Structure 1
Amino acid sequence: MTSSQAGRPAALADVARAVSGGLADAGVPSPEHDAVALLAHASGLTPSQIRTAAARGDAAPPSDVLAALDAALARRLEREPLQHITGRAPFRTLDLEVGPGVFVPRPETELIAGEAIDAIRRLGAGRAADLCAGSGAIALSLASETDAHVWAVELDRLAVPYLERNRGALPADVAARVTIVQGDARTRLRELDGTFDVIAANPPYIPGDMRPKEPEVERFDPQIALYGLGPDGLEVPRGIVDAAARLLRSGGFFVMEHGAPQAAQVRDILAATGAFADIASHQDLAGWDRYVTATRL
């Protein structure tokens, strides 16, 4: 893709256009963004450096970089997630390690982290938990952007090593405030019942009879991180709500992500516990109902 029968491309911009065009032809979303990211990955540079070099008219990379780019491009054309190819996923202020076996954090989940961070600051909170922590996106953001001690609970044994390595990449004083617990977030931390100030969660919530439209999600995200069990996909979220009711102190804050069509059901689940007030749905940047917040009575 980066070379043609006419010969080796002369300029970096030509390479970027060829890669972007190939991705677009294959139906890959954001082809220009992905082309720059793949070039950066193959070159050992940052995307901003690639964009600057292309605008400056720099020559095409050497043949070894083009070969690495071709290999990465072939994987992306098979719809392997960009983050699996680069091994990295940006999330708020963090650069997380991700790959096969762990859920790739989504931009909309930054809103959930932001709500939890705001609550920690507002409450002067000292103790928070991320239930269904995955790569650690929410938990490590809470620890990095506040002074809270954060518990990160994750069931999947394939995901926990990513969580541990991402914690290890933090400054030592921040990493020391993150406790990782491997197990079912619905039942763990019972020894700390009633002591948490903030609980955040992005649990699996897709119903079992639905299939994600994006090949990157359906074929590469771990199913344990996607499907919430039960006919409505809300069996796991119900358990998370019950866990939050158990773990939070009075006045504590809860935020949980859910699917856009599930907003009313999730509010009803919270109301049915009798444990929460101020139950409210909130929208993502696209205007879809994406998460719920509530206060522990």
Structure 2
Amino acid sequence: MTMRLRQAIDKATVALAQAGIDSARIDAELLAAHLAGTDRGRLRTVDEPDAEFFSRFDELVQARCRRIPLQHLIGSAAFGPLDLRVGPGVFIPRPETEALLEWALAQRLPECPVIVDLCTGSGALAIALATERPQARVIAVDDDPAALDYARGNAASTSVEFVEADVTVPGLLPDLTGSVDLVVSNPPYIPLGAELEPEVAEHDPAHALFGGADGMSVIAPIARLAGIWLKPGGLFAVEHDDTTSRQTVQILSDTNLFTAITPHRDLAGRPRFVTACRTTTKESA
């Protein structure tokens, strides 16, 4: 890394830290790497940038200081093995959801499973599962046209099928009844009134964040849909707020459609998602 570039990154780190950004050094380096067209780990090999580089770098740093999300500034977000295009109008996938992805990939499924991702947003879970299980039929559902535009672009090299629909509507997609092997979802689940970082409160779509007063208004109908769609022995995983693990377990239990209902923690040790197995009996939700 050249001396001038190092000094620019050092200066940016101070400015970002003063703006309240915990990951100031990482963000400064990622912004520099984005402009240099390289990876963060390769910055030391970058030749001396020109004046235009430093002018654009200052503009990006100032935007990040205004708490515009890093992912909006660089146009992408990492999720597991993926680098997804994101921007205004779509929820930015979080590292916490990678714990749910790891659980899903570790499950034993049929050779050609049917997988449904509800509230797909940028397509993160659906595309990651389709990439790792190329024989699967993967269906991704969301009711936001803007989010689906991002998701379709991100999924261009996969066979993921997209459906624009409201997952809270009873009887959705009846053709899937009893035919699905795995349902996953990272739905809106933040309780109304929760305090959020500016990057989230001001830039993620509210429709993708909030799940009613208690955060459960979307999780409950998703649980019923999963119970209807899943084959006996099929699997379900749903993310939730770190304050609502018990409520999520209770909702699944109350359907009388699931067994092996299990809460899980994310990579930071916080309660994050619940998994369950569809019973082998014929009750209806």
Structure 2 length as normaliser, TM-score? 0.93
Post-superposition Cα deviations, 1:271-294, rounded to whole Å, max 9, x if no partner, equal 000000000101112211110000
> Any idea what SS the aligned residue of 1:274 has?
coil
TM-fit CA distance, 1:211: 3.2
Kindly, what percent of the aligned residue pairs are identical? 40
Q: Indicate yes or no: 2:221 matched with 1:221.
A: no
Match of 1:80 among 43, 49, 68: 68
Amino acid at match of 2:45: A
Deviation (angstroms), 1:185: 2.2
Distance 2:110 2:127 in 1: 19
Match of 2:255 among 273, 276, 283: 273
Q: 1:39 aligned to 2:26?
A: no
Equivalent pairs counted in the alignment come to 275
Cα deviation, 1:42-101, whole Å, max 9, x if unaligned, reads 222221221x337xxx54x21111111111111101001000000000111111000000
Q: Does the CA contact (< 8 Å) of 1:42 and 1:66 recur in 2? A: no
Equivalent-residue separation in structure 2 for 1:84 and 1:66 (angstroms): 19
Aligned pair in 2 of structure 1 residues 290, 125: CA closer, same or farther (>3 Å)?
farther
Gaps of 5+ in 2: 280-285
Say which SS state the counterpart of residue 11 (structure 1) adopts: helix
Counterpart amino acid of 2:118? L
Which stretches in structure 1 are left out of the alignment for 5+ residues?
1-8
CA distance in 2 between partners of 1:62 and 1:140 (Å) = 38
Q: Does 1:69 pair with 2:62? A: no
Q: Deviations over 1:107-161 (max 9, x none)?
A: 0101111222222x44445110100000000000000011311000011111110
Indicate the residue corresponding to 2:100 in structure 1.
Answer: 112
1:10 Cα deviation after fit:
4.8
Contact 1:116 1:199 in 2 (8 A): no
Partner residue, 2:271: 289
SS of the aligned residue for 1:261 comes to coil
**Aligned AA (1:269):** I
Which shows bigger deviation, 76-85 or 187-196? 187-196
1:35: how far off? Answer: 0.4
> 2:45 maps to what in 1?
53
Q: RMSD of aligned C-alpha atoms?
A: 1.5
* Structure 2 match to 1:237: 219
TM normalised by structure 1 equals 0.89
Separation in 2 of the partners of 1:101 and 1:267? 31
Is 2:181 the partner of 1:197? yes
SS at match of 1:235: coil
Q: Deviations over 1:227-272 (max 9, x none)?
A: 012x212011101111111111100000010011101111000000
Letter aligned with residue 139 of structure 2: W
